[in-house]
Structure 1
Amino acid sequence: MLAALLLALAACVSKQEPAAKNTLVVGMELAYPPFEMTDEKGTPKGISVDLANELGKALGKKVVIQNTAFDGLIPALKTGKIDLIISSMTITDERRQSVDFSDPYLSTGLCLLVGKTSPIKSIDDLDKPGVTVAVKKGTTGHTYATGNLKNAKVLVLDKEAAAVLEVVQGKADAFIYDQMSTYTNWKKNRDTTRALLNPFQQEKWGIALRKGDTQLKERINRFLGTFREQGGFERLGDTWLREQKTTFKELKYPFFF
Structure 2
Amino acid sequence: MFKQIINALIGLSLFTTFVNSAEKPLIVGMELQYPPFEMSDKDGTPSGVSVDLAKALGKYLGREVKIENIAWDGLIPSLKTGKVDLVISSMTITDERQKTIDFSIPYAQSNLAILTNKTSGVKSIDDLNQKGKKIAVKKGTTGHIYANQYLKNAELLVFDKENAAVLEVIQGKANGFLYDQLTVYKNWANHKSTTIALLKPFQEKPEYWGMAIKKGNDKLKEQIDAFIKHAKSDGTFDALSKKYLTEARATFDELGIVFFF
User: 2:184 is matched by which residue type in structure 1?
Assistant: T
For residues 18-48 of structure 1, give each alpha carbon's deviation from its aligned partner in whole angstroms, at most 9, with x where no partner exists. Answer: 3796210000000000000000100000000
Identify the match of residue 67 of structure 1 among 59, 66, 69.
Answer: 69
The equivalent of 2:219 in structure 1 is 215
Q: Are the equivalent residues in 1 in contact too, given 2:22–2:62 (CA < 8 A)? A: no
| 2:250 corresponds to 1:243 | no
Unaligned runs of 5+ in 2: 1-15
The equivalent of 2:147 in structure 1 is 145
What's the C-alpha RMSD, in Å, of the aligned pairs? 1.5
Give the superposition deviation at 1:255: 1.2
The equivalent of 2:186 in structure 1 is 184
| 2:96 corresponds to 1:94 | yes
* Partner Cα distance (1:160, 1:179) in 2: 14
Give the superposition deviation at 1:245: 1.1
Identify the match of residue 199 of structure 1 among 179, 197, 201.
Answer: 201
Give the superposition deviation at 1:117: 2.0
Q: Are the equivalent residues in 1 in contact too, given 2:120–2:172 (CA < 8 A)? A: no
The equivalent of 2:234 in structure 1 is 230
Give the superposition deviation at 1:91: 0.4
Structure 1 residue runs of 4+, over 2 Å off?
17-21
Aligned to 1:156, the other structure's residue is in SS state strand
The equivalent of 2:38 in structure 1 is 36
For residues 171-203 of structure 1, give each alpha carbon's deviation from its aligned partner in whole angstroms, at most 9, with x where no partner exists. Answer: 000000000010010011111110000011221
Aligned to 2:76, the other structure's residue is in SS state helix
User: 1:76 is matched by which residue type in structure 2?
Assistant: S
Matched residues, number: 243
Distance 1:20 1:81, change over 3 A: farther
TM-score by length of 1: 0.92
* Partner Cα distance (1:31, 1:208) in 2: 18
The equivalent of 1:5 in structure 2 is none
User: 2:30 is matched by which residue type in structure 1?
Assistant: M
Q: Are the equivalent residues in 1 in contact too, given 2:22–2:63 (CA < 8 A)? A: no
Q: Are the equivalent residues in 2 in contact too, given 1:133–1:173 (CA < 8 A)? A: yes
* Partner Cα distance (1:233, 1:106) in 2: 9
For residues 193-252 of structure 1, give each alpha carbon's deviation from its aligned partner in whole angstroms, at most 9, with x where no partner exists. Answer: 100000112211000001111111111111111111001100000000011111111111
Identify the match of residue 134 of structure 1 among 133, 136, 151.
Answer: 136
* Partner Cα distance (1:168, 1:220) in 2: 39
Aligned to 1:129, the other structure's residue is in SS state coil
Q: Are the equivalent residues in 2 in contact too, given 1:52–1:63 (CA < 8 A)? A: yes
For residues 96-152 of structure 1, give each alpha carbon's deviation from its aligned partner in whole angstroms, at most 9, with x where no partner exists. Answer: 001100000000100100011221111111122211100001110011111222121
